[in-house]
Structure 1
Amino acid sequence: MPWLLALLALIPVDALAAPGLDAVTVVSNPDGSQSYSLTLQVLVFMTIISVLPGLLLVTTSFTRIIIVLALLRQAMGAGTTPSNQILLGLALFLTAFIMMPVFERMHETAIAPYLEEKMSAEQAFIEAQKPLRSFMLAQIREDDLAMFTRLSGREQPYASTEEIPMTVMMPSFLISELKTAFQIGFMLFIPFLIIDIVVASVLMSMGMMMLSPMIISLPFKIMLFVVIDGWSLVASTLARSFVP
């Protein structure tokens, strides 16, 4: 899959395929028996696979999407409906949809030339970062970038975006995504909060103080969300929020 190859391209690919390095080494013992051992290549590959979820969180749109969906579920007061698995699946597919143009550019400019042996591993690694860096820079807030620049020990801002290291860009991007996600979540909370307040006020005026307002307001919130086609609105809003 192109997006998986694009994420793999974030790791120095020259560590994956050193010339003459086999995955399994066969050693002949003095007694004539043979022993088998895994080489460093397999260890590096397994390490890369283990860090892919972290790369998904700190370099793509996944963080913003999953937080907004979780806050939306909490605002509706529907408990665990939709379930965590459904929210994660929706977030992953929305992430793939939003990030697909970036992954396609990474594949065209870096991965495909490297697989065709038209580009070295070092060049492919540098070229693969460019589309992803452009996407991340479009979402990073200037104050977050300035904060992590100061924390890295640099007194002056970077002269150009090409000089910004990924170690500074990734946390800046993640903090900016958290801020944006909570802002969108706040806007989603307002209509549901108004429904809760109205229902609670009506029940209070009728003297039904022992009846939980959540029991009455939940059907109204679900009905409102379905009538306005809320899932489509949320998905389209999240997709448009990444347009620079």
Structure 2
Amino acid sequence: MRAVALAVLLCTVLAFPAGLPAQAATPAAPGGRALQGPAFPFVDLNVRPAANSREVVLSIQLLLLLSVLTLAPSLLILVTAFLRIAIVFDFIKRALSLQQVPPNQIMMGLALFLTLFIMWPTLSTIYNQSFKPFADGQIGLEEMYKKAESPLRVFMYRQMGGSPENIRLFMRMRALPKPNTLADVPTEVLIPAFVLHELTVAFKIGILLFIPFIIIDMVVASILMSMGMIMLPPVMISMPFKLIVFVLVDGWSLITMQLVQSFR
């Protein structure tokens, strides 16, 4: 405790400049002259009624931008490869009867970097066609949004290329006509259809992952029952065998390779 108190006291002393007490005792300079001493930031926020319609539009755009930034994690999960990868990794932990190893932070970090690896061509297209022209002042905000939306729509539609049933489902619920091309599918229909498709694919992969480990659990449980060791939890015995099998077949590499190859 003494070391912690000394560390806190030292940080407190270093946080304030040596000349601050002397400056605090100095009266404010008349006429708004600059004060001598260490620089201190001045923050000013003016809120006033909009002078014209352009300022109203800019204020609304700022609110929309803040809303989009708030929803950015959800958008990252829903419109990229992250959803499928995260669910499959969770199935792996459950199939191996692991609760805390590997930690969720490591699994989500690996899922994030695999998502970047898979989405890199799409993200590069968005940067070159949308963000870079906008930063150079060649296009406006609305056109930047449209150019950024198009590669993501192509990615989502490409994953559902062989099974567009979810798109038809949401089109029927909205009473919309049957689409002939991707351009006929609204984004508010494409995103939930893509999410349902990713959930279905992830659960199918999870079922296939569970099958060999369920067999190991059943064999171990049968052996324990035949030996009369009913009170011993089968998970305690089967988990080391499942880990041995998983490591011997190089499970992480196989699952990672199959996940990456499952995306079109």
Counterpart in 1 of 2:156? 136
2:248 to 213, 227, 235: 227
Higher relative contact order (CA 8 A, sep 6+): 1
Q: Does 1:187 align with 2:187?
A: no
After TM superposition, give the deviation of residue 118 of structure 1 in Å: 2.0
- 2: distance between equivalents of 1:204 and 1:107? 60
TM-score when scaled to structure 2? 0.75
- 2: distance between equivalents of 1:222 and 1:88? 21
2:103 to 83, 91, 108: 83
Aligned residues: 209
Counterpart in 1 of 2:182? 161
Counterpart in 1 of 2:91? 71
| Letter of the structure 1 residue corresponding to residue 93 of structure 2 | R
Q: Does 1:149 align with 2:164?
A: no
Which has more radius of gyration? 2
Q: Percent identical across equivalent pairs?
A: 41
- Structure 1 or 2: larger strand share? 1
After TM superposition, give the deviation of residue 80 of structure 1 in Å: 2.4
Once the two structures are superposed, what CA deviation does each residue of 1:203-227 show, in whole Å capped at 9, x if it has no partner? 1222222211111100011111111
Deviating more after overlay: 42-51 vs 183-192: 42-51
1:20-39 to 2 correspondence within 5 Å? Answer: 24-25=45-46
1:164-175 to 2 correspondence within 5 Å? Answer: 164-175=185-196
1:33-52 to 2 correspondence within 5 Å? Answer: 42-52=62-72
Counterpart in 2 of 1:106? 126
| Letter of the structure 1 residue corresponding to residue 70 of structure 2 | S
Deviating more after overlay: 68-77 vs 87-96: 87-96
- 2: distance between equivalents of 1:26 and 1:189? 58
2:145 to 125, 128, 136: 125
1:178 to 192, 196, 199: 199
- 2: distance between equivalents of 1:151 and 1:26? 44
| Letter of the structure 1 residue corresponding to residue 216 of structure 2 | I
Q: RMSD value over aligned CA atoms?
A: 1.7
- 2: distance between equivalents of 1:196 and 1:26? 65
- 1: distance between equivalents of 2:73 and 2:91? 22
Q: Does 1:94 align with 2:114?
A: yes
CA change 1:125–1:40 in 2 (3 A) is closer
